[in-house]
Structure 1
Amino acid sequence: MIHFQPKVKSVYFALLATLAVGGLGLRIGMQALDVYLKKDPVPLRTDLGAIPTVLGHWQRIGEDQQMDAAMVESLGTEKYLTRSYAIDGDPAKGVISLHLAYYTGMIDTVPHIPERCWGAGGLVQLGDPITMALSLPILANVAADAPVNAATGARYPMAKLVDPVTRIEEQVTLPVGEFAMTVSTFQDPRASRVEQLGGYMFIANGRSTASTFGVRALAFNLTDRFAYYCKVQLSARYPLGDTPSAVAFQANAEDFLTQLLPPLMRCLPDWPSMERTTARPEPKD
């Protein structure tokens, strides 16, 4: 049996006491500062499958794609939607494939994005990804009494949403922040006259970003108790012609997202309400 000198024992117990007091002090300090290193999950308000199959003149074609268990495990979430839309329901007029994936709580999944995944499927990437700014007029609808995003101080844009069945109107808040997509262009070696473009962005804790680094910064704000993000990915194929593929994709993306954004935000957590319910009360005079 090993015996320690009394002096060694004293140092040992002193170190244990220091660690215990330090850990307790750190926890108390974090609570006082409203710092959350562990994020709580927040559920969707409505399943992503509730997004209408008709969005303006974009109409769903085919059935929603269902992933097998291995693909769901790789994706890192069971909350996803993969669906294709065509202008007026006619693929000859233009098709956009939509992929949504929702993550919440301790978010440690690396997002699946075209520049990481499509190359493995045999496509060849043409150049580096670009950040494509998108202009959506609905994001300019900011009322003077709109709720304020706690992280930025910016007021949320608002949009009117009409239920397609009940015809009941409601106001939904739209994300604040830059509205852009990271876009990559690919080519299938078997179809050299066609380019495939993939663009993605993220909505996280009521804000938007085009960056995989940005989404982690938004979803891991130390003062937010809850965390979520939703990846919004669009893809489309264009034959080579007079109009550059990126120009055609930008026009289609702006048109489609204008219709998609309000019903999507109706599915995602109502972040302004969560900010109000989790905010620390103002000190009284």
Structure 2
Amino acid sequence: MAQTETILTQNRSTGVPPTGVSPSSNAGAGAALEAAGPTPIAHKPLYGSARLVACLGVLVASAVALIAASRVFEGLLHKRPVALLRPIPAMDAHRLEPRYTLHPIPAPLLNEETLETLGTREYLLWRVVDVTRDRSDPAAVAHLFITYYTGKPDQVPHVPDECYFAAGSQLVRAEAHSIPVPGVRADGNKVPVRATVWQMPPRSRFPSLSDGEGARNRTVLYFFHCNGAYMTTRNEVRLAQAGIRQRYAYYMKIEVNFTDYTFTRNATSEESVEALPPLLERVMGTLLEEHLPDWSRLNSAPQAQERAN
């Protein structure tokens, strides 16, 4: 009987009758097995399922943390706009006196298409006369162009180079200068300035002159004032605005080129750099005192409020 049960057990899964066992023996053995009850089924360990559950838990936790972190960084990278104390177009020209006055022929206002391309209505176009210079001096008049931007995330700063290239001008050279300007909150009282010299297309050259750099070329000086600091490149501006410790962001571009009183002669690069410091002292002084809020106070106010809470 024991041998019969062993043979039956070995062949149960195949359904093939055991060799050497008669049908009657099969019947008897089957009855014995039924009386003994069903054969227990062996269960596999649940270690694999536990690892799967653990992995799923880690993935869910990571996803929740990633969503929370993205919201935090989105809030940090999306800077709050910096409201001006006074609009840029409302700048008081009397603050530049007595050395500087406005030219009797004002610069034309920008049309809507140009404003759309410019990306801001906070701009200023002035022709400023240095009354200490002779009218024939190629640095007698400063053509001042100021633009202000805030509240637009990841905006690519506009530089004059784009406009001059688009107008068909050729870049002759570019120079970096450190202009001494006291009283404008610049590191070491020196403002970094980029000077670009452009060969103007024939239609833009002054027909009355044929010799000299001032007849052929125009020198354009510009820099940015961004988040309380001075800089000269768009990459510097973008990095300054992306700082995670700063809740606010703005930048302002100041662009200047010099001519004589009748706009028929451009100043050279050397003449332009020499004429810039006294102008910036008055222009930037006015902007910092009457138009831009104090950057250190603006950035410290939210932190003080958070500590109080």
Common fold by TM > 0.5: yes
Q: 2:102 corresponds to which letter in structure 1?
A: R
Q: 1:255 corresponds to which letter in structure 2?
A: P
Query: Is there any run of 5+ residues in structure 2 with no aligned partner, and where?
Result: 1-48
Pick the aligned partner of 1:23 from 29, 44, 67: 67
Counterparts in 2 of 1:15-164, with a 5 A limit?
15-16=59-60, 18-24=62-68, 27=71, 36-54=76-94, 55-56=96-97, 57-61=99-103, 62-88=105-131, 92-93=136-137, 94-127=140-173, 129-139=174-184
Contact 1:176–1:206 (CA<8 Å) still a contact in 2?
A: no
Report which of the two has the higher share of helix: 2
Shift of 1:47: 0.8
Q: Secondary structure at the match of 1:222?
A: coil
Report percent identity of matched pairs: 23
Alpha carbons of 1:92 and 1:240: their partners in 2 closer, same or farther (altered >3 Å)?
closer
Q: Secondary structure at the match of 1:67?
A: coil
Shift of 1:138: 2.7
Give a deviation string over 1:150-206, Cα, whole Å, max 9, x none: xxxxxxxxxxxxxxxxxxxxxxxx344761111101122433531211111111111
Alpha carbons of 1:85 and 1:107: their partners in 2 closer, same or farther (altered >3 Å)?
farther
Give a deviation string over 1:30-87, Cα, whole Å, max 9, x none: 69xxx81211111111011232224131211233532222111111111111111112
Alpha carbons of 1:283 and 1:132: their partners in 2 closer, same or farther (altered >3 Å)?
same
Q: 1:186 corresponds to which letter in structure 2?
A: W
Query: Is there any run of 5+ residues in structure 1 with no aligned partner, and where?
Result: 1-5, 140-173
The structure with the larger Rg is 2
Bigger RCO (CA 8 Å, 6+ sep): 1
Contact 1:114–1:184 (CA<8 Å) still a contact in 2?
A: no
Q: Secondary structure at the match of 1:116?
A: helix
Rounded to whole Å, the distance in 2 between the matches of 1:39 and 1:283 is: 20
Rounded to whole Å, the distance in 1 between the matches of 2:87 and 2:306 is: 35
Shift of 1:246: 1.7
Report which of the two has the higher share of strand: 1
Equivalences, count = 237
Q: Secondary structure at the match of 1:235?
A: strand
1:186 alignment partner in structure 2: 198
Q: Secondary structure at the match of 1:36?
A: helix
RMSD of aligned residue pairs (Cα, Å):
3.4
- Provide the TM-score with structure 1 as the length reference: 0.71
Counterparts in 2 of 1:193-232, with a 5 A limit?
193=211, 194=215, 195-232=217-254
Q: In the alignment, does 2:273 pair up with 1:250?
A: yes
Q: Secondary structure at the match of 1:138?
A: coil
Shift of 1:254: 1.0
Contact 2:148–2:251 (CA<8 Å) still a contact in 1?
A: yes
1:277 alignment partner in structure 2: 301
